[in-house]
Structure 1
Amino acid sequence: MGIKSFQGKRDTSQGKESVQILVSDYMTKKLITFKPEDSLDHVIHLLISNKISGGPVVNDQNELIGIISETDCIKHISESKYYNMPSDSNNTVAKKMITNVDTIDKDMNIFDAATKFINSKRRRFPVVENGKLIGQISQKDVLKASLNFKANTCK
């Protein structure tokens, strides 16, 4: 008679009842991304036309290498005017993007993600798996998850 492992058989419904709403359940998968060689004029156009405030920068292998935001573009505009430089010098994403990017795990509970948002004061986090960009979670996505959770538990 062998000893049975308690990890061998799991009741999958148990995890659902203990509020396992994951980042992957609410993250945006269809993203507007930028390349390091893109011009800031191109970035500004896409930010305005898509009503977004920033986006991930990826290389040809779809690996996350940075983030470019409205603030980065505004800094460039401000520096160009201040130093009386033509607006197209240093006008690439690679020169203005943030490269130290904080990411979030797709398997993180959405409520833990909410805490990460509060502690970081960020509006969005890229989601990376094996170095590749697979999505993005925003504060708005966390709010949607909370409404859905509330609707499902108040029945």
Structure 2
Amino acid sequence: MTQEVVRAEGETPFKVVARMLSDNRISGLPVVDDEEKVVGVISETDLLQHQTQQVEDYGHRHVRRPKVTRSARTAAVKARATTADHLMTRPAITATPEHYVTEAARIMREHGVERLPVVDDKDRLVGIVTRGDLLRVFLRTDEEIRREVTRRVTMGLDVPRYVVDVRVDAGVVTLRGQLERRDDAELAARIAGHVDGVVAVTSRLTHRRTSTRARSAVGISSHV
């Protein structure tokens, strides 16, 4: 994530918001309150919607209006917005520092957003992550990925590093070795799949016996 975040406050004027986006060459920014808690997000789309709605309102004064819907009411509010408070989209879709890149990508896809303010446990802004930030994880080298997969898998299974052999080729992870239980082999593959930059996981792990005993993965977020 980027820790130096361009942000607005509720009272920030429309023109200032537009200037902030232009000067910093960004397509959106979070809006915070006096305690730095994220209360909303403004995107270029919000500004364009404001302008488009104004043209429609002033250009068609005498046209019979359709039934007012929730989205229409929201658009009307944004058309009259002079400050960030009325221009922003709320509530803000956010992430936490503990989210994996795969989780952040899923949140963006599900909500159709291009950026996620990152907040602490008190909803205070600590950073922001964009689609570009997420894509950059796939630029990690195979060796970087191999080291992290090895660390997380051996820690999650509580086994020595030599037990699981990790190979990485163009982001594709291959796991080899023999473990005690089938559960451990399945868990190792899940852990590897959550490492940033991993494209796919091929498991060649074998196991001595089957176990239904539940185990928790060290380093796997409860959000998954």
What's the RMSD between the two structures over aligned residues?
2.2
Relative to structure 1, is the Cα distance of residues 112 and 150 closer, same or farther in structure 2, using a 3 angstrom cutoff?
Answer: farther
Distance 1:68 1:90 in 2: 12
Distance 2:142 2:91 in 1: 35
Q: Give the residue type in structure 2 aligned to 1:70.
A: E
Moved more, 111-120 or 37-46: 111-120
Any residues of structure 2 matched to 1:1-155 within 5 Å, and which?
Answer: 27-84=1-58, 90-129=81-120, 130-148=122-140, 150=142, 152-153=144-145
Distance 1:136 1:112 in 2: 14
TM-score normalised over the length of structure 2: 0.52
TM-score normalised over the length of structure 1: 0.73
Paired position in structure 2 for 1:18:
none
Relative to structure 1, is the Cα distance of residues 74 and 146 closer, same or farther in structure 2, using a 3 angstrom cutoff?
Answer: same
Distance 1:35 1:118 in 2: 27
Distance 1:84 1:52 in 2: 30
Q: Give the residue type in structure 1 aligned to 2:99.
A: M
**Structure number having the greater strand percentage:** 2
Give the SS at the match of 1:84: helix
Bigger relative contact order, structure 1 or 2 (CA pairs below 8 A, ≥6 apart): 1
Give the SS at the match of 1:31: coil
Same amino acid, percent of matched pairs: 27
Q: How far 1:81 moved relative to its partner?
A: 2.3
Moved over 6 A (4+): none
Paired position in structure 1 for 2:153:
none
Relative to structure 1, is the Cα distance of residues 79 and 115 closer, same or farther in structure 2, using a 3 angstrom cutoff?
Answer: closer
Q: How far 1:150 moved relative to its partner?
A: 4.1
Moved more, 89-98 or 67-76: 89-98
Distance 2:141 2:103 in 1: 14
The C-alpha deviation readout for 1:47-92, integer Å capped at 9, x for no partner, is 111111110001121111111111111111122222229xx95311
Q: Tell me, which stretches of 5 or more residues in structure 1 are unaligned?
A: 1-26
Paired positions, count? 127
| Greater radius of gyration (CA) | 2
